[in-house]
Each structure stands twice: as structure tokens, then as C-alpha cells.
Structure 1
């Protein structure tokens, strides 16, 4: 009659699966269970090679996964530190990030951008005021996929200087009559850099925050 309890395969596997210990502790636990199982096996029905090999393979898998997790955590930590150092070089620089707002101050040219997700045979950018009135239209014609930096001199389509304030950029793009995804980009200065659970973020001078991956162009 086979011995049950600590010597059973099911109990040994369950004990290994529920152990939330370090790799060394797991190996010691496994060896202890294996020795106990061998000492208590039925002499007339000993543990066959297939069962022993299966348990050894399980232990090797558990140990390998723990080592892999430790290696991945180390790589993630190193990557995060490297990204933070790289992002720190952006402090004081201006970047183009997703956003449709553009500010006009002192009539100075205001840079903005367009992020085309595909090639288009017609691209238009319109700037509207707070009331929704179109004050300036840019007909850019055909454009290839990618980021396009642009500027606005603060004048209307009639050539008149418009009042300082906040304006909105609207983008439309088509290819063969079909709409092409396109996003407006706004200019912002990087004030500081932070690292949190979601990765590296940039704190902008205008009060906003964006992820490092959201930076489309550095000016």
C-alpha cells in the first residue's frame, strides 16, 4: 500500500506552489520533501523515475522563474534610472507634446506641430479663438507621415494682428478621400523630471505633465 500524506506527489506539488519564499528557501524545502518522500515510499511500490524526474523539473522551473524575475526587475530598475538621466537633459528645453492649445503673447510667433499617423494628400490646420471663430488657416497640401513643426505669426487670414490669448488648433487630413489620423502638438518648456510607478514623467512649465514617450520633438 502506498504511503499518503507528506509522501504523496500532490502534497509535495501543493507545498511547492504555495511557498512564497526565496529561491534558496524553496530549494531547501523541495529537498526536504523529496528526502521525506523517498524515506517513506512503499518498498513494494517505489517512486518511479518518471515521478522523480517530474518533481525535479518542477523545482528547476520554479527556481528558473524566480531567477528570471530577479533579472527582469534589475533590468527594469536600470532602465528607469537611465531614462531619468536622459530625461533630465530636457530640463529647460522646449518640446512638442500632444495638445491642441496655443498661446499668443506679444504678437510673437507661436510654434506648434502636427503628428500625422500616415501619409496624406491634403492636410489643413486651422486656429480658432475662444468663441470658435476661425482666425487662421494653413493649407499644407500633401504631407508624409511624421511630425511637422510649424509656427504662427499671430495674424489672421486677412493679415491682421489678432489679440493675445489662448487659441485652439484643429487638424484635418485625408488620403484618397479617407480621413487620416492626425494630432495637434503644442509647445511646452520642461521644468522638471519625475520618476514614478508609471515611468518617467516631465513636469511642464505650463503646469501640465506628460510621459517621456509623449515627446514628439525637441526644439
Structure 2
């Protein structure tokens, strides 16, 4: 086989290029400077009788810029997801408040909650049911102003808007378990059921396919993080 001087130079140049690429293999990516160097080498070694069209070089450069932009976007997105996951992991074991009528009472703990009233009332009442649907307590709160009314229940006594309610709670406290709250208020001449928000412990955190954080709450289940009303 005959080897010409031109082919020898081409092989030498290719070996030189390969050597330069090998030194950058550790980074596993082709930087912009290396890409331009390869392009210039390609231009210097093209067939002078059949040079490449300028549009081909422009297309290559555009393609490289597009790939580089996607890589940077992926890097930024992965960094964002990692930061979100790290922040979310700190929520495990904490209590959050979400819109729900059920929650879990743990031994020695409390269930915190709130309701919003459009108008003041003199007949706010809470009924609490256990897992079997049996009525555990009916609490006649009485007066409540318009706006948010917050409460804390420990299984026996209840505190409303920072004041311990003076009522006959009974001798036995409710045991640990899941409970449903039904809260009503007399407004506009009729009794209306109110939307309730309750506290729940975060058992675990996952990231959905859409990138949203999903909190798995005790007694409630999976809830998107942006649905949380309050971090307790």
C-alpha cells in the first residue's frame, strides 16, 4: 500500500487531535475551545479542490451551541432538584397544616387546626369522630369572630384562639389514633359546615414526575407541598 505525504500529514494531524481529545476525556465533555480547535483543524485539512460550504461550519457551530445549552439546562435542573430534595428532607418528622378533616393524634401530642368564618357566630360547634365513625366528643365552642379561628386538641381538652375552653370534657382522654373533625357554625340563620385545616406529621417526602414535592402525611396521605398552609 502506498502512503503519500499528504496522507501521512493527515494521520499525524488526526493523531494529534486524538491525543488532545484523550487529555480531556476525564471531563467527559467537549468544551467550546476544543470544539473551535477541531473546527479550525478541519478547515485546514479540508480538500482545497472540494472545500466545505460555510453553511456546514455554521450548522456545526449552531448544533454545538444547542447541545451545550441543553447540557447547562440539565445541570441547572439537576442542581435545583438536589437542593429541593435536600430542603424537603428536613421536613420529615415535622408537623404541617393542610386542608383536611382527618388527622392523627399521637400519645402525648396534640392536633392543631383552624377554620375560616365569613361572619361572626355565637354557635360554633366541633364534633370529633374516631376511626370507626363513633362520636368521641361534641364541643360547644360558642362565640367566634369573623376570620380565622385556631384550636388545639389533646384528646380531652381543647384550646380555642389561645384560651382553654371551660367545658365538661369527660374523665377519659381519647387514645392515640386517627380522628375526623366536623365543625359547624350558625351563620345567616342556618347551620353551615366549615372547611377544616388540620396538622399532620410528615412521614416522608418524594419528588413527583413533574418535579413537585409530595409530602406523605400521617393520617392524610400524599399532599403536594404547595398545598401546605403552615409549617408548624
Q: Using structure 1 for the length normalisation, give the TM-score.
A: 0.49
Q: Using structure 2 for the length normalisation, give the TM-score.
A: 0.47
